[in-house]
Each structure stands twice: as C-alpha cells, then as structure tokens.
Amino acid sequence: MTPAISVSELTKRYGEIDAVRGIGFEVPTGETFGFLGPNGAGKSTTIKILCTLADPTSGTARVAGHDVVKERDTVRRNIGLVFQDTTLDSYLTGEQNLRFHADLYGVPKAAFAPRLRQVLEMVGLWERRGSVVATYSGGMQRRLEIARGLLHAPRVLFLDEPTVGLDPQTRDAIWEYINDLKKREDITIFLTTHYMDEAENCERIAIIDHGKIVAMDTPEALKASVGKDRVQISTADDQEAIRALADTFGIEAAMHEGRVTFSVESGEQFVPRLFAGLPVAIRSVSVSRPSLDDVFMSYTGKTIRDAEASIADRNRAVAARFGRR
Amino acid sequence: MAAHDTLERQQEQQLTEAIRVAVPERSLRHDLRAVSIVWRRELIRFRSDRLRAVTSLVQPVLFLFVLGTGLSRLAAHGMPAGIDFKTFIYPGVLAMSVLFTAIFSAASIVWDREFGFLREMLVAPVRRWAIVVGKCLGGATVATFQGIIFLALAGVAHVPYSPALLLTLVGELLLLSFTLTAFGVMLAARVKQIQAFMALTQMLVLPMFFLSGALYPLAGLPAWLTVLTRIDPLTYVVYPMRHAVFSHLSVSPATLNALSPGLTWFGWPVPIGLCLALVAAMGVALLAVAIAEFQRTE
Ligand SMILES: Nc1ncnc2c1ncn2[C@@H]1O[C@H](COP(=O)(O)OP(=O)(O)OP(=O)(O)O)[C@@H](O)[C@H]1O
Ligand SMILES: [Mg+2]
C-alpha cells in the first residue's frame, strides 16, 4: 500500500534562510503523525510544501500517492487543511463558510446538507451554525476550521498547531474530536505542535530543529531511548555546583531554564548521594522521568524552551538591527 | 434493548453512507460553481454592510448637490438657457458613484490576504481564473448596484426616468464597474498592504475623475488638457453616458453641441460604440493580467 505521505531530501530556502534542510520521512495510511519542534524549526514550511502552497527548493514529496509539484490539483482534492492562523471569513456565518468551502471543492450538492450536519455536530457547533463567525470564541473558530477541513472527506488532514493559543479544556476537547475522528473516518493526520504533552497523542513523532529531523519514532520508544531521569537543582553557587558535579560524580551538568540540569540513571536513588557529596548548599531539587523534552534535549543539547528563547533573542537582535518594532 | 441497539447502529451506518463524499475530477462545471460562490460571497458581504452602501453615496451626493448647486450660479453665464448645471454634471458624478465602490471591492482581496481567507481560496482544487473572475463579477455587481441607488436621484438633476435611458446607463455602469474592479484586482495581486493599496488608488481615482470631462465639456480645451482627457479611460464612459442623457432631453442642436460635443481624436469623431468597446477591451486585458498574476502567487 502506498504511504499517505512520503518525503525525501526535501529542502526549502527563503533567500538567506534555510527553512527546511533535507528532511525525509514516510507516514503510512491511517497514522497520526506529529512534527514537534520549537518556533522557526520549519514545521509550517513543511506543511506548506505538502499542501502545494509552496514549491520545494529541492527534493520530492508525495501526498496520497501524488507528487505535490506535478500533480497539484489531485493532491489538493485529497487533503484537508487547518492553517496555523485562522482563514475564516468572519463576516459570514459558520454555515456560509462551510458552504463556500463545499462549492470550491465541488462537494456534490446532495451530499452537502447531511455532511454539513455531521461535521458540525462532531465539533459541537450545529446549534451555532447561523451565527456570524466574528461572534465565535477562539476555540469555536478553531473547531469550525477543523469541521471545514473535514467537509470534503479528505484522505489526509493537515493541522498546523491546531491548539495553539487555546485554554487547556479546549485543547483537550479538540484532541477528543481528533481521536473520535480516527474511529469514524479512514484518515491520516499530520500535525505540528510545540506542546510536549500534545505530541504524546501521536502514534509517531518526528522531532525537528533548525530544519532537520533529529529523531523519529513512537513517543514511548523515543523516551525509552533516553533512559535517564532528569534532575534539576538550584543552589547557592551554580557554577561551583557544576564543577563539583563533574569532579565528584563525573556528571556533565549545564544550565537550562535557569537551573543546574543533568541526567542520571535512577534519579531518586541519586538524590541522597547528591546531598551528601555536594559541597554547595542546595535550595531545591526536582527529578523527572524522561519526557519528550528530554528527548529533544538529548538530541539537540537544549530544551525546547531554551530553543524558543534563543529564537526570540535572535529575532529581537534582528529587529534591533533594522530599528523597527 | 437489543433491538434498539441495532436500530441505532443501522441509523449510524446510514449516516456514514449518506455522507460518503467524493470530490470529483476538476471540470469546467466545477470551476463555474467556484465563480458563482466567490461572486455570491461579495453580494452577501455587501448586503450585511449597509454602512458601506450609505457612506459611498456621500461623495457623489456632495458633488451633485453642493458643488452642482454652488457652481450653478457661476456656470449659468456659460450654460444655455433652461439647462441646469446639475444635469450637466450628473452623468460624470454617476460614473464616480461606482468608482470608489468598484475599487474598494477589489481592496477586499487585500483584506482577505491579511485575514488569511485568500489562502482558503488559493489552496482549493479550482483554477485560479475562477476565483479572479468571481471576484471581478462580484465587485462589478456590487458597484453597479451602488450606481443604481444613485440613479434613483436622477429626477433631482432633471434627468428623465425613461426606461431606455435607464437601461443604457445601467449597462454602461456595469461595463465601467467591471473594468474598474479588474484594475483593482490586478493591483491587489501586487500591493499587499491595505494602506499602500488605499493610498495608491486614492492617488489614481481623483485625477481620473477630474480628467474625464465629468465637470466640463470636452471641446475647446487647451492642447495639454485635451491630450490628458483622451488618455484617461474614464473619459470613454463619461462621454457615452452624457451622450445618452442629452439625447433624452429635448434641447436645441446648439445646446447639444455646447454641452455634449463629440469626442474626437485629432479631429476624427470617435463613435460611441468604439468608446464602449475600448473600455470592454481594457477590462478584459486587465482581467487577463490579474489572472496571470494570481497564477504566480503562492
Ligand atoms: N515566506 C517566508 N519568507 C522568508 N522566510 C520565511 C518565510 N516563511 C518562513 N520563513 C522562515 O523559515 C523558518 C521556518 O519557519 P516556519 O514558519 O516553517 O517555522 P515553524 O516551525 O512553523 O515555527 P512556529 O512554531 O513559530 O510556527 C523561519 O526562520 C522563518 O523566518
Ligand atoms: Mg508554524
């Protein structure tokens, strides 16, 4: 069976910036596949290429068995899309937005009414279908976009940060819809996120950083591959603590998120030895099981929040240079 | 209980079967359906935006009543007896009433880009021409509609409500609106910020209006102004409209000659039909450029 998505050696340059630097992966039909990475990693760029909205600089990509450059229209007929930024017409009602979509995608007229009802009921907006979209909350707009993306029964659904900016309850609700959808329809889902906990919902994830895939597997396998617990301590003298950890225990520690951070085999058993052996006063300790953040850290040498902070710094530096914003 | 369960399952099955949607291969019919929905969206939005309909009437009404009345005493010396200055400027101001609306309709593409909706249209499996044509037809319809509202004020300017005249004027308004929208859409493909778009169109619209002969007859002008009026595309709509209005008034040939002289190129009188054909050709050419430009954008 042909995979729903297959990508090889894909690159995309925007002038000076290498947004995507040679990625390759396959997503089998029916899978929920996630792209996890910090801001600016190249997630949206990859989605744009897969959805035929941008041409790759080099490499190939096939979606639903069709080339995204040579068979644009066939690809477009087979995909549903929810962009990172909303693309609704806020002057139209929910139903009018969906009708517009149905006509653009050539959904058979007889199928429209029942399908409309089905997708709107699924996201809980059937009662509000007559209201103008400007009166919807952020979460409702997001749900309406998901319903719209599903209206023409696509084989592959792309969701670019489907829950960004939403409160935790709404995020959970959207994940319920997505999981429910998997049961009802024969559909492959490709999504991007920079929320760790959200990536756990995917069957398989690829961790992407600076336009490259640094790891790809099931969330469980990725976490197991790290194997170690993460210990973070705050001390009276962090530099001294890092030196002492290296001298006394042979452990390489570094500052992350403002605390001394390192990985050890079994964290709970190590903590008493730490208190006994460290010459610096310890203020607090936390031990955590390997998370996807640790996976990210073990492949890139930084936590995802560090990565986002450094991107923010870089942007600020760029903005300062041009004297704007 | 068990029976109830089966019933539910059956219903569910029916529902799933009923909504099996297969997006068809692309065809002309599908593209035309896209044209129609893009068009209808313009109408829906115009209908829900009554404020816009009212505010775009302000300018032409000001021109007709304030400028028209204010200047009429001064103009009376040059006007043949029994003709109101308002009647004279009415066709030009009518053209103006669609000018802004048509170009603002095109501006909605810039808004759509800013608010992301353009992307929803561009990623759909339809030909780009369908979207551009739908947009132009929508803008033309809305602007013509705006013109028709202003047409209702014809009586105030002593322009008769003759069915033949009204029909001619509506046809000419439609042509003008279409060409103007096509021009705006072509511009919107390149100019991506709304402020820049507005500034640019403002800069173009007023000179176009002033050079079109909307406020003065086209004969006996200095050479430089004669050339400029002949270059202005709006001239080729204002002239036929004024011609239509004056041929429905009972005036002497001398008056007609003074107020609605023929349009000439180096002394050659340009037929009305050619004027309108020129505007139509320009509209089609602008549309073609707009389509080509949208073909290229991501
Ligand atoms: N149209 C464009 N022109 C120039 N540079 C671009 C363009 N689109 C993206 N980039 C650059 O490509 C890089 C990757 O951007 P992309 O939007 O793919 O990141 P992302 O992973 O989706 O990030 P986020 O989590 O913030 O959405 C960034 O450095 C960005 O500045
Ligand atoms: Mg993004």
Q: Looking at beta carbons, which residues of chain A come within 8 Å of B21? A: 107-108, 111, 115, 151-153
Q: How far is the CA of A161 from the centre of ligand 2 (A)?
A: 7
Lowest mean pLDDT among A81-95, B63-77, B117-131, B240-254: B63-77
Question: How far is B134 from chain A, CA to nearest CA, in Å?
Answer: 12
For chain B, what is the mean pLDDT? 87
Mean pLDDT of B44-60: 85
Residue B29 clears pLDDT 70, i.e. is over it: yes
Query: Is A111 in contact with B23 (Cβ distance < 8 A)?
Result: no
Mean pLDDT of B222-226: 91
At residue A290 the predicted structure's pLDDT band, cuts being 50, 70 and 90, is confident
pLDDT at residue number B137: 95
Ligand 1 contacts CB of residue A141 (under 6 A):
no
At residue B1 the predicted structure's pLDDT band, cuts being 50, 70 and 90, is very low
Helix residue ranges per DSSP H, chain B: 2-18, 28-47, 50-61, 68-75, 85-114, 117-122, 128-151, 163-190, 194-211, 223-231, 235-247, 253-259, 272-296
Lowest mean pLDDT among A135-149, A182-196, B132-146: A182-196
Task: Please state the atom number of ligand 1 nearest to the C-alpha of residue A37.
Answer: 21
Task: Please state the atom number of ligand 1 nearest to the C-alpha of residue A20.
Answer: 14
pLDDT at residue number B13: 45
Mean pLDDT of B86-105: 90
Q: Spell out where A226-281 has E strands.
A: 229-235, 254-256, 259-264
Residue B4 clears pLDDT 70, i.e. is over it: no
Question: Half-sphere exposure of A85 toward its Cβ, with a 13 Å CA cutoff?
Answer: 11
Closest to A75 in 3D by CA, of B255, B157, B26, B61? B26
So what's the ipTM on this one?
0.83
Lowest mean pLDDT among A57-71, A234-248, B275-289: A234-248
pLDDT digits 0-9 by tens, A112-151 = 999 999 889 888 899 999 999 999 998 899 999 999 998 9
For tokens 């477009």, name the residue.
Answer: A76
Q: Which CATH number fits domain A223-314: 3.30.70, 3.90.1070, 3.40.50, 2.30.30?
A: 3.30.70
pLDDT at residue number A99: 96
- CATH number 3.40.50.300 is the correct assignment for the domain at A5-218: yes
Q: Spell out where A56-153 has E strands.
A: 58-63, 66-67, 79-82
Residue B51 clears pLDDT 60, i.e. is over it: yes
pLDDT digits 0-9 by tens, B112-130 = 888 889 989 988 999 999 9
From A14, A20, A84, mutation site for ligand 1 pocket: most ligand atoms within 8 A of C-beta = A14
Question: How far is B123 from chain A, CA to nearest CA, in Å?
Answer: 7
pLDDT at residue number A7: 95
Mean pLDDT of B178-187: 94
Q: CA-to-CA distance for A55 and A19, rounded, in angstroms?
A: 13
> Using the 8-state DSSP alphabet, how is residue A132 labeled?
B
Mean pLDDT of B163-189: 94
Q: CA-to-CA distance for B12 and B8, rounded, in angstroms?
A: 6
At residue A250 the predicted structure's pLDDT band, cuts being 50, 70 and 90, is confident
The per-residue DSSP string of B214-272 comes to SSS-SSS--HHHHHHHHH-TTHHHHHHHHHHHHHTS---HHHHHHHSPPPEETTEEPPH
For chain A, what is the mean pLDDT? 87
Question: What is the pTM (predicted TM-score) of this model?
Answer: 0.82
Q: CA-to-CA distance for A51 and A40, rounded, in angstroms?
A: 19
Q: CA-to-CA distance for A307 and A301, rounded, in angstroms?
A: 10
Closest to A151 in 3D by CA, of A106, A84, A182? A106
**Is pLDDT larger for residue B73 or for residue A235?**
A235
pLDDT at residue number A313: 61
Radius of gyration of chain A (CA): 23
Lowest mean pLDDT among A289-293, B147-151, B167-171: A289-293
Query: Is A114 in contact with B20 (Cβ distance < 8 A)?
Result: no
pLDDT at residue number B16: 46
> By alpha-carbon position, which residue is closest to atom 2 of ligand 1?
A14
pLDDT at residue number B139: 93
pLDDT digits 0-9 by tens, A197-212 = 788 889 999 999 999 9
At residue B18 the predicted structure's pLDDT band, cuts being 50, 70 and 90, is very low
Query: Is A87 in contact with B120 (Cβ distance < 8 A)?
Result: yes
Question: How far is A198 from chain B, CA to nearest CA, in Å?
Answer: 25
- How is chain A split into domains, by residue range? 5-218, 223-314
